[in-house]
Amino acid sequence: MSKFADYNFAGQKAIVRVDFNVPLNDKYEITDDNRIRAAIPTIKKIISDGGSVILMSHLGRPKDGPTEKYSLKHLIGRLQELLGGVTVSFAGDCIGKEAEEAAKKLPPRGVLLLENLRFHKEEEKGNEPFAEALAKLGDVYVNDAFGTAHRAHASTAIIAKFFPAGKKMFGLLMEAEIVSAEKVLHHSEKPFVAIIGGAKVSDKILIIENLLERATDIIIGGGMAYTFMKAAGGKIGKSLCEEDRLDTATELIKKAAAKGVRIHLPSDSLIADKFAADADTSMSPSNHIPDGWMGLDIGPNACEQFSNVIMHSKTILWNGPMGVFEMEKFQHGTRIIATAVAKATQKGSFSLVGGGDSVAAVNQFGFADKVSYVSTGGGAMLEYFEGKVLPGIAAIKS
C-alpha cells in the first residue's frame, strides 16, 4: 500500500470510497453534514496535486434498486459548497456506460460523484465483477470510509484486489482513525482506562473481553452496570437487567481479577420511579435500589470515583454513555465523565471516544475538540476494539 499524504496524484484518476451516508429530511435536505465534511481534506489533497476524484458511497438502506429518497444527487449542492465552489459532476449509475464516460471525460482537478452503490445488490454481497466494474473507473483506489470498514462489501474491500500494492491506500480520515485506534489498542501508555457504558451487556461482552488483555482499569456505567450489580448479589429494583447475562458478568469479573484488571462499578445511582423525563428521582447505593425504582444515571459518588480513575490514566477509551443522557434529568453523569476525560486530555493523556452514543454525547456537550480523537466509525470502531480484523483495512494492507 502507499501512504496517501506522500502520493502524488497528478494526472491520476482516484476512485475514492467515502462514507456520505448522511441523514436527509423529507425535502431531501441534509440535516447533518459531518460525514461529508470529514472527507473534504482527502478530496482537496487529490485536487491540489492535479488529480481527479471519483467519489462512491452508499446512502441509507435501499431495498429495491434506485429510489429517489436514497439518491446521492441530493448531496451535490452541499458537496460543491464544502469544496469551495468546485463543480461536481454526477453519474446516475455507479457502473456501466454512463459512469465510464463520465470518468473518462473528467478533467484534472475534476470531481465526479457516482450514484448510490447500494442501488446494486452486488455491493453488499461483495460481488467480484461489480467490484471490478468500479475499479475500472480509476487508476488509484483510496478508501476513506472507516464507518464501513467492518463490511466486506465490493467497494470497501473486494475492489482493492484489482489494484497493485502501490495504487491502493487509506484516505486521510481513515488513516487518522486507524492510527488513533492502534495507539489505544497496541501502543497504550499505562494506566489505560476503558470506560464502557450504554444499555446492554450483550453488545459489549466482546469488547470487554478483548480489553481485559490490554487495559489496567475498566469503568462500567450505564444500564449495563446493573446486570453486573445483580450478578454480584446486589438489589437493583427494576433497573435494566439481562437475566441471561448474569453468568457472563460473573465470568468477566472473575477474569478481570485473575488478570489484575480493576473493574469499577458505580457505587451509587440516580434512581427514578419510571423511565420518563418527569419521573420522581432519588439517590441510592447501586446495589440497594428499592423495589419499583430504576437506576437511570450514575450518582455523585460514582462520578467522583470514576473521575479519579480517569484523571490518573494516560490512555482513555470511551464507549457508551453513563446514563439516559437523552433526558436532561439523567445526563449529569455522562457530562461529568466527559469533563474528566477533557481534563485528563488537557494534562497530556490520550483519549479516544468511539461508538455512536458517547460520540453523540461528547458533541452535544461541546467536548469534541477537548478530547484527542472522536471516531466517526461507530460499528467499525467497536469491532476493531473487539479485536476483529476489519476487511476494509485488511484489503489495503495485504
CA 235 to chain centre: 34
Cell of 336: 461529568
Provide the minimum distance between the beta carbon of 341 and ligand AMP in the complex, in angstroms, as a whole number.
Answer: 16
What residues between 211 and 230 interact with ligand AMP by CB under 6 A?
A: 222-223
> Closer CB to ligand AMP, residue 33 or residue 326?
326
Does residue 240 interact with ligand AMP by CB under 6 A? Answer: yes
How far is the C-alpha of 306 from the C-alpha of 390, rounded, in Å?
Answer: 31
Does residue 295 interact with ligand AMP by CB under 6 A? Answer: yes
Site string for ligand AMP, 296-335 (x = CB under 6 A): x-----------------------xx-xx-x---------
What residues between 194 and 213 interact with ligand AMP by CB under 6 A?
A: 198-200, 203
Q: Which of 60, 92, 234, 356 is catalytic?
A: 356
3-state secondary structure of 350: strand
How far is the C-alpha of 20 from the C-alpha of 379, rounded, in Å?
Answer: 16
What residues between 337 and 366 interact with ligand AMP by CB under 6 A?
A: 356-357
Count of residues touching ligand AMP (by CB under 6 A): 16
Q: Which of 13, 17, 35, 168 is catalytic?
A: 35
| 35 included as an active-site residue | yes
Provide the minimum distance between the beta carbon of 329 and ligand AMP in the complex, in angstroms, as a whole number.
Answer: 12
Whether the CB-CB separation of 140 and 9 falls below 8 Å is answered with: yes
Provide the minimum distance between the beta carbon of 298 and ligand AMP in the complex, in angstroms, as a whole number.
Answer: 8
Tally of residues, the chain: 398
Residue 122's DSSP bridge partners are: none
Provide the minimum distance between the beta carbon of 184 and ligand AMP in the complex, in angstroms, as a whole number.
Answer: 18
Cβ contacts of 345 within 8 Å, gap of 6 or more = 316, 351, 370, 371, 372
Cell of 358: 458517547
- Which residue number is nearest to ligand AMP in terms of Cβ? 198
E strands, the chain, where? 13-17, 52-56, 88-91, 111-114, 140-143, 168-170, 192-196, 217-220, 235-236, 262-264, 268-272, 281-285, 288-289, 294-298, 315-319, 350-353, 373-374
> Closer CB to ligand AMP, residue 90 or residue 228?
228
How far is the C-alpha of 338 from the C-alpha of 381, rounded, in Å?
Answer: 19
> Closer CB to ligand AMP, residue 198 or residue 377?
198
- Find out whether the peptide bond into 191 is cis, omega within 30 degrees of 0: yes
Among the residues of 317-370, which ranges form H helices? Answer: 332-346, 356-364
| 379 included as an active-site residue | yes
| 138 included as an active-site residue | no
Identity at 335, one-letter amino acid code: R
Give the CA distances from residue 242 to residues 200, 233, 246, 254, in Å, rounded to whole numbers and listed in that order. 8, 14, 7, 18
Provide the minimum distance between the beta carbon of 377 and ligand AMP in the complex, in angstroms, as a whole number.
Answer: 15
Q: How many Å is the Cα radius of gyration of the chain?
A: 23
Provide the minimum distance between the beta carbon of 297 and ligand AMP in the complex, in angstroms, as a whole number.
Answer: 7
Whether the CB-CB separation of 95 and 133 falls below 8 Å is answered with: yes
> Closer CB to ligand AMP, residue 62 or residue 323?
323
> Closer CB to ligand AMP, residue 222 or residue 299?
222
Judging by beta carbons within 10 Å of its beta carbon (0-12, 13-18, 19+), is residue 79 exposed, middle or buried? Answer: buried
Provide the minimum distance between the beta carbon of 242 and ligand AMP in the complex, in angstroms, as a whole number.
Answer: 12
> Closer CB to ligand AMP, residue 45 or residue 230?
230
Provide the minimum distance between the beta carbon of 109 and ligand AMP in the complex, in angstroms, as a whole number.
Answer: 42
Cell of 175: 488513516
> Closer CB to ligand AMP, residue 72 or residue 201?
201
Cell of 215: 487495559
> Closer CB to ligand AMP, residue 128 or residue 326?
326
Residue 56's DSSP bridge partners are: 17
Task: List interacting residues with ligand AMP (CB under 6 A).
Answer: 198-200, 203, 222-223, 240, 295-296, 320-321, 323-324, 326, 356-357
Catalytic site residues?
35, 200, 356, 379
